[in-house]
């Protein structure tokens, strides 16, 4: 026995025997693990604590809406209009070199609304009716000066491309709440936002967490209907065969998350062929509901359709929906402030108000967080006589529903609306607070990348505790 053992398994001591045996058992276990099916990255996962918001609808006003003309009235700015900025307000660096231009007051008429008495200008009469459900953050600030970096930061936390978007982090942390629709959906109104798909990218997270873009119009999801003559059984067989080929090709490419995401996308597309058409079919809505969102008016129809679509998606378990209004920097009013903002306020006022009202009437606002805002605000001094420059130093966003305490203004900018001075809220603070409402701790939500435990807010982020009801 000894000679036979030595012939087939040359060990020289009892210790070597157990080491070799242990290695063999470990190898068998590893082989079994490699053959086992990989865990589903989109399986529902518990949060770090109980969530107040099941879904997010982010109404992104791309281009930089002017807080000074919408939610943050500044009597001092109107008083100083036409004069140089007093030295007491500092000397900011501006995107277009307008710091030495004269101050420009607003032409808007302001009114307090609701029981809370929050101020809203006459550009947003419909949204003003919902101030008691809104927390208006007047002291937001960011790091970017231009649109590409700033839109990127508002989505991913960094002005440089490459990090995961907030929607991707939400999927990574919580998985999906449905199997027939994407968990993270992005909708545009006309053009592509600056920076394009990097704004809903999964970054260094597995590719399966990236956002899915829906198109504008009656067919937001392309190619849902199988070709003529292809029934469900045949379609299922084709996808199963395609999955086998992909898995065979990817057998030695376990680290290729894009391949894994593609395989899962085929499966999701098959599921969507039966549920997708119904989910995006706005004809099933009543005429009263369509009118509530402004679908009966040319100026409000495009964004109104997206807002109504968003409600239908979160109703069916979609976790994160981002809607762009003015994609391609539409709100970028360097000239003709009145004409530019009149157009985009008109396009967004009734749809956003309709969304809040519709969610509330259906009992969905309590666990759906609605966010409004752009990548930055606009400066108090004029550009080219009748426009405003980019302002990342102090601007406004608002949130409603999803565990937010409404009817309040959080933070302030200075007397001319240039800088956040009381309770400044950085983009990382905003992201941390959104994730908190979804039941995720932004510090504990980590992913190992290049030897570092990365998190959504990089190395910053403080909760805006006043937000929480």
Compute the C-alpha angle 270/271/272, nearest 5°. Answer: 90
82, 103 in Cβ contact below 8 A? Answer: yes
Please give the residue that has the higher pLDDT: either 224 or 126. 126
Distance CA 230, CA 206 (A): 32
> pLDDT tens digit string along 328-351?
999 999 999 999 999 999 999 999
Write the CA distances from 265 to 210, 270, 273, integer angstroms.
11, 9, 12
Per-residue confidence band for 92, with pLDDT thresholds at 50, 70 and 90: confident
375, 142 in Cβ contact below 8 A? Answer: yes
Q: What is the length of the chain? A: 469
Domains of the chain: 2-34 (no CATH), 55-221+280-467 (3.40.720.10)
Per-residue confidence band for 3, with pLDDT thresholds at 50, 70 and 90: very low
Please give the residue that has the higher pLDDT: either 453 or 22. 453
3-state SS, one letter per residue, for 77-113: HHHHCCCCCCHHHCCCCCCCCCCCCCECCCCCCEEEE
**pTM of the prediction?**
0.85
Closest CA to 68 of 114, 117, 104: 104
Q: Does 95 score more than 80 pLDDT?
A: yes
- Mean pLDDT (the chain) is 88
Beta bridge partners of 442: none
Task: For residue 112, report the phi and psi dihedrals to the nearest 5 degrees.
Answer: -85, 145
Write the CA distances from 361 to 292, 313, 435, integer angstroms.
12, 16, 25
**DSSP secondary structure letters along 9-46:** S---SHHHHHHHHHHHHHHHHHHHHHHSPPPPTTS---
Both tokens of 82, joined, read 């036409």
3-state secondary structure (DSSP) of residue 368 = strand
Query: Rounded to an integer, what is the distance from CA 305 to the centroid of its chain?
Result: 18
119's CB contacts (< 8 A; 6+ apart) are: 71, 72, 73, 110, 111, 112, 113
Compute the average pLDDT of residues 18-27. 46
Q: Does 237 score more than 80 pLDDT?
A: no
Distance CA 269, CA 266 (A): 5
Instruction: Give, as one character, the DSSP assignment of residue 457.
Output: T
Please give the residue that has the higher pLDDT: either 234 or 9. 234
Both tokens of 268, joined, read 């999701």
Most confidently predicted of 30-39, 222-231, 294-303: 294-303
For the chain, what is the radius of gyration of the CA atoms?
26
Distance CA 432, CA 440 (A): 9
Both tokens of 96, joined, read 């277009």
């Amino acid at each position: 026995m000894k000679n036979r053992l030595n012939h087939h398994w040359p060990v020289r001591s009892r210790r070597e025997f157990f080491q070799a045996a242990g290695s063999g058992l470990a190898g068998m276990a590893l082989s079994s693990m490699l053959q086992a099916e990989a865990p589903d990255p989109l399986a529902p996962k518990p949060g770090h604590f109980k969530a107040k918001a099941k879904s997010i609808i982010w109404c992104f006003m791309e281009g930089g809406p002017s807080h000074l003309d919408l939610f943050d009235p500044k009597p001092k700015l109107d008083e100083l209009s036409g004069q140089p900025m007093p030295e007491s307000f500092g000397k900011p660096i501006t995107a277009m070199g307008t710091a030495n231009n004269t101050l420009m007051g607003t032409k808007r008429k302001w009114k307090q609304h609701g029981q809370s008495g929050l101020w809203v200008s006459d550009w947003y009469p419909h949204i003003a009716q919902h101030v008691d459900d809104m927390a208006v953050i007047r002291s937001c600030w960011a790091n970017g000066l231009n649109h590409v970096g700033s839109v990127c930061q508002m989505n991913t936390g960094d002005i440089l491309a490459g990090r995961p978007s907030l929607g991707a982090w939400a999927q990574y942390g919580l998985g999906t709440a449905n199997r027939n629709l994407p968990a993270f959906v992005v909708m545009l109104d006309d053009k592509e936002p600056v920076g394009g798909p990097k704004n809903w990218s999964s970054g260094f997270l597995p590719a399966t967490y990236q956002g899915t873009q829906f198109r504008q119009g009656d067919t937001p999801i392309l190619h849902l209907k199988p070709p003529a003559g292809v029934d469900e059984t045949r379609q299922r067989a084709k996808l199963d065969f395609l999955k086998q080929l992909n898995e065979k090709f990817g057998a030695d490419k376990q680290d290729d998350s894009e391949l894994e995401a593609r395989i899962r996308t085929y499966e999701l597309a098959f599921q969507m062929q039966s549920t997708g058409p119904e989910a995006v079919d706005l004809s099933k809505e009543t005429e009263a509901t369509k009118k509530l969102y402004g679908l009966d008016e040319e100026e409000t129809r495009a964004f109104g359709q997206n807002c109504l679509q968003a409600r239908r998606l979160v109703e069916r378990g979609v976790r994160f929906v981002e809607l762009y209004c003015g994609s391609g920097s539409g709100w970028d009013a360097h000239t003709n402030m009145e004409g530019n903002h009149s157009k985009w306020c008109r396009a967004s006022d009734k749809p956003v108000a309709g969304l809040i009202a519709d969610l509330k009437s259906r009992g969905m606002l309590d666990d759906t967080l609605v966010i409004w805002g752009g990548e930055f605000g606009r400066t108090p001094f004029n550009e080219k006589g009748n426009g405003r420059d980019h302002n990342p130093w102090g601007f406004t966003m608002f949130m409603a529903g999803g565990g937010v305490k409404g009817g309040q203004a959080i933070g302030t900018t200075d007397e001319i609306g240039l800088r956040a001075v009381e309770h400044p809220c950085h983009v990382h603070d905003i992201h941390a607070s959104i994730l908190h409402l979804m039941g995720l701790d932004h510090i504990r939500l980590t992913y190992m990348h290049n030897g570092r435990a990365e998190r959504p807010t990089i190395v910053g982020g403080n909760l805006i505790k006043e937000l929480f009801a």
